[in-house]
Structure 1
Amino acid sequence: MKVHEVIFRLLIAIVIAGAIGYERESRNRPAGFRTHILVCVGAAVISMIQIHAVEDALKRIIENPLLTNALKADVGRMGAQVVSGIGFLGAGAIIHEKGSIRGLTTAASLWVVACIGLAIGMGYYVLAILSGISVVIVLGILKRFESKFLYKGKLMKIEIQYDNQKVVTEVLDNYFNRRKIKIKNIEYSIDDEDDDTTNDNTHIKTSLYTILAPKYVKSGELLHDLMENEFIIKVSVL
């Protein structure tokens, strides 16, 4: 493989992965601009190593036909390791925050960027470019479509004070599921760190819930329903 071909493939990997990573970076996701570029470039390098290994094996066989049965080169073996191995990096992008999970889309984007990198390294430029454009469309344009048409809801932040975390958490989960309310994020007070080492359920705790509620759910109705629980002291919409 010539030097200019290697440079060209690496540049394509940087441009395509950079576009995808920029979209993730703009949304403050755990894996952003540089991470996506590194994953794509790494996958492209693996593909080019595999191609070079195959070409080298063929060259040796041509020079010495006796090596035909001794030298073997599997074009897809190293690429398969990349596709499966990238799962560890994707898992690191998934964050579990006491009731909510974030980073699944970023993990998926890392995986597909690795696949695009393999295509670039193998020289499938049209496939790689069209795939990159598709990913950018899915992450950017379809995100707006999803928010507008697939799930019509309103984002709300509610602050809840309570004195029995276990009971209240279960009550809130059941209530939100019943009313088709999605929990986007949960923030606990610093005092909750101490609660993990004690069994004191009488201490007043505060949690900030970011929820996505259907249009028909009114804030006043939400406050009224939650305040009916005896362990919930105060509920306020921010």
Structure 2
Amino acid sequence: MELFLDRFGHSTWLPFSVIAARLLAAAIFGALVGAEREWRDRPAGLRTHILICVAAAAIAILAVEITHLDDFGGQEIRIDPLRLVEATTAGVAFLAAGLIFFTRGEVHGLTTGAGMWLAGAIGLAVGLGFWQIAALATILALVVLGLLQAVLKTEKRPNSTDHEEQ
């Protein structure tokens, strides 16, 4: 039985508490970005951004863990954790592209797609232990999505009023 358990799974290089904290932080950061999209009633909201961020964090954690496995220590096997990062960004970009559409001369879903892509990057940062980068990226996302939206709306109002007066 012990042989089965030894072969069934590996103990992790990172302490489980660190893994749990990173996944939880990814969920929180993803929720912050997703909440703004949810509040604006966009197609990819809270749950989508949380899942993307947590998935990216899990993949990043796996990349760290894989590089520390003895199973992959031989010269015949080369581990490149950046391939997981590339695959993650490509996968999230594929999901985001599914939201973007063009109708009546206007592009829709571009900001939400970019937010999803950023959620993936935030998840990768948290999963690799760079929570400071993830936190700053989350704050910047909220500033861009929230504050700049308000600025753009106020800029459009005077132009439309001036146009109506003429």
Name the TM-score class by shorter chain. Answer: 0.7 to 0.9
RCO greater where, 1 or 2, for CA within 8 Å and sep 6 or more? Answer: 2
Once the two structures are superposed, the pairs formed by residues 45-124 of structure 1 within 5 Å of their partners are 45-57=58-70, 61=73, 67=74, 69-124=75-130
Partner residue of 2:45?
32
Partner residue of 1:216?
162
Deviation at 1:40, TM superposition (A): 0.4
Partner residue of 1:9?
22
Report which of the two structures shows the higher radius of gyration computed on alpha carbons: 1
- Point out the structure with the larger strand share: 1
Provide the rounded CA distance (Å) in 1 between the counterparts of 2:120 and 2:92: 7
1:22 pairs with 35, 52, 58, which one? 35
Partner residue of 2:11?
none
The superposition leaves residues 9-36 of structure 1 with CA deviations (integer Å, 9 ceiling, x where unpaired) of 1110111110110100011101000000
Provide the rounded CA distance (Å) in 2 between the counterparts of 1:125 and 1:216: 46
1:26 partner amino acid: W
Structure 1: give runs of 5+ residues left out of the alignment. Answer: 62-66, 155-212, 222-238
Provide the rounded CA distance (Å) in 1 between the counterparts of 2:148 and 2:162: 24
CA RMSD for the aligned pairs? Answer: 1.9
1:105 partner amino acid: T
Change (3 A) 1:102 1:54: same
Partner residue of 1:153?
157
2:147 partner amino acid: I
Partner residue of 1:131?
137
Identity %: 34
The superposition leaves residues 37-58 of structure 1 with CA deviations (integer Å, 9 ceiling, x where unpaired) of 000011011101111110114x
TM-score normalized with structure 2 length: 0.83
Provide the rounded CA distance (Å) in 2 between the counterparts of 1:95 and 1:50: 33
Please state if 1:43 is matched with 2:56: yes
Change (3 A) 1:43 1:60: closer
Partner residue of 2:3?
none
Change (3 A) 1:60 1:17: closer
Deviation at 1:60, TM superposition (A): 6.0
Provide the rounded CA distance (Å) in 1 between the counterparts of 2:102 and 2:42: 13
Provide the rounded CA distance (Å) in 2 between the counterparts of 1:135 and 1:96: 24
Aligned length, in residue pairs: 153
